[in-house]
Amino acid sequence: MEKKPHFARRDFPPKEAPSLLPALLLLAVLLLNALLYLYLGNPHGSSGRADAEPGLCPHGSFRLGPLRNCSPWLSCEAISREVRKLKCVGEGAVKKVFLSEWKENKVVISQLTEPELKEDFLHGLKMLKALQSKHVVRLLGYCEKQFTILTEYHPLGSLRGLNETLHIPRYKSMNTWHRRLMLAIDYVNIIRYLHSSPLGTLVMCDSNDLDKVLSQYLLTSDFHVVVNDLDALPLVNRSAGKLVKCGHRELWGDFVAPEQRWPYGEDVPFDDDLMPPYDEKTDIWKIPDVSNFLLGHVEGSDIVRLHLFDIHAACKKKDPAERPSAQEILDTYKKVLTLLIREAAMPGTREML
């Protein structure tokens, strides 16, 4: 009778199996850290060309849609010949905005509305040209003699319509606390970029109420934020003793910073010559209000607000010198995002390790 070969049964020690779980959790945490690092980048940020998106075209050119090669900014002649207006989609104090088409790509034409505001228009164009980066809407061309600017089209519009956009079925999955916090990070990152721009410290002056601020920023199709309107962007130069004033009229309300309000009481009529100038910390005062809108009222947003309470309280210090810098706020926002994503992904990791 033929004997069947005997195979010894090998049992793994029962103690080793559970030890795999902490190792797997540790590996997951390390992977999560790597992903967060790739998304958030250097927590200290930087300025200038380092803020340019990867593959950004050389200054004076652009890449749009499926086009692989960079094209030079379109000239007056090219705009007249190649760009077709479709319809007017908006009008402000300085510009009228037209949805247009260039080589089967949707684009935006902005044209001056009031001749007496041409200096504001040209200042905005100058800023667009100088500040091209991942934070600023892409410039495609311009014609100074016709007061025309051509920029990239973002179909989701300005941040003013964020809540309506997030209620569209296609975008409902984006309506989460972490996606909203990332939009707030984008916004603060833009403020940081302006405060440390290649041109110096710039103040976002066209921001006297929340609705106005939100209208200055666009929501991109991949859910990031870019600044669109740079018509009112004066320069602070402390070394030269140069501060700014946002316009020449009296400003009211809690949204604007205390130093932007008339300091001499109701009994003294407003006089622009007597109004003290101020610096970029006016932008800092407004960050909590803008972020509160961006965070919305979704599950988890109140937890985010709780983690941001201290930095937002510091933003509302009456003395501008006591407010944090945009860089400090950005660092805090990124730390909060990292912390909360870790906790959401691994709620029991600490106990199991």
Q: Is the pLDDT of residue 198 over 70?
A: yes
Are 255 and 333 part of one and the same domain?
Answer: yes
- Tell whether 7 is covered by a domain: no
149-176 pLDDT tens trace: 999 999 999 999 999 999 999 999 999 9
Q: With 0-12 CB in 10 A as exposed, 13-18 as middle and 19+ as buried, what is 182?
A: buried
What CATH number does the domain containing 231 carry? 1.10.510.10
Helix-strand-coil split of the chain, %, nearest 5: 45, 15, 40
Are 176 and 144 part of one and the same domain?
Answer: no
Calpha distance 85→8 (Å, rounded)? 81
Are 220 and 270 part of one and the same domain?
Answer: yes
Are 97 and 215 part of one and the same domain?
Answer: no
pLDDT for res 20: 65
DSSP symbols for 239-304: GGTB-B-S-SS-B-SSSS-GGGB-TT-TTS---GGGS--B-THHHHHHHHHHHHHHH-SSTTHHHH
Are 257 and 279 part of one and the same domain?
Answer: yes
Token pair in block for residue 149:
């600017």
Final residue in a domain of this structure, among 98, 118, 152: 152
What is the rounded radius of gyration, in angstroms, for the C-alpha atoms of the chain? 26
- Tell whether 19 is covered by a domain: no
**Range of weakest confidence among 35-44, 45-54, 146-155:** 45-54
Token pair in block for residue 261:
């309000």
Q: Is the pLDDT of residue 114 over 60?
A: yes
Once rounded to an integer, what is the mean pLDDT over residues 86-93?
90
Q: What is the DSSP secondary structure assignment for residue 59, as one 8-state letter? A: T
Are 190 and 308 part of one and the same domain?
Answer: yes
Are 90 and 169 part of one and the same domain?
Answer: no
What are the backbone dihedrals phi and psi of residue 254, each rounded to the nearest 5 degrees, phi first?
A: -75, -20
Q: Which residues contact 281 (CB under 8 A, 6 or more apart)?
A: 257, 259, 320, 321, 323
What does the mean pLDDT of the chain come to? Answer: 88
What CATH number does the domain containing 98 carry? 3.30.200.20
Calpha distance 305→302 (Å, rounded)? 5
Q: Give the predicted TM-score (pTM) of the model.
A: 0.85
pLDDT for res 49: 39
DSSP symbols for 109-171: EEEES-GGGHHHHHHHHHHHHHT-STTBPPEEEEEGGGTEEEEE--TT-BGGGHHHHHTSGGG
Calpha distance 286→291 (Å, rounded)? 9
What is the pLDDT confidence band of residue 19, given thresholds at 50, 70 and 90? Answer: low
Q: Is the pLDDT of residue 85 over 80?
A: yes
Q: Is the pLDDT of residue 342 over 80?
A: yes
Are 234 and 131 part of one and the same domain?
Answer: no
C-alpha dist (Å) from residue 287 to 99, 161, 210: 30, 18, 10
pLDDT for res 29: 54
Contact 325, 315 (CB under 8 A): no
Are 316 and 231 part of one and the same domain?
Answer: yes
CA 245-94-230 angle, to 5 degrees, is 55
Number of domains in the chain: 2
pLDDT for res 353: 38
Percentage of the chain beyond pLDDT 90 is: 75
pLDDT for res 300: 95
Domain that holds residue 289: 157-345
Q: Is the pLDDT of residue 36 over 70?
A: no
pLDDT for res 76: 97
Final residue in a domain of this structure, among 137, 152, 167: 152
Calpha distance 327→184 (Å, rounded)? 13
Q: What is the DSSP secondary structure assignment for residue 23, as one 8-state letter? A: H
| HSE toward the beta carbon, residue 108, CA cutoff 13 A | 19
Once rounded to an integer, what is the mean pLDDT over residues 195-213?
96
Calpha distance 224→132 (Å, rounded)? 16
228-280 pLDDT tens trace: 999 999 999 988 989 999 999 999 999 999 999 999 999 999 999 999 999 99
Four-residue CA torsion sign, 77, 82, 86, 88: negative
Token pair in block for residue 19:
């030890």
**Range of weakest confidence among 61-65, 147-151, 298-302:** 61-65
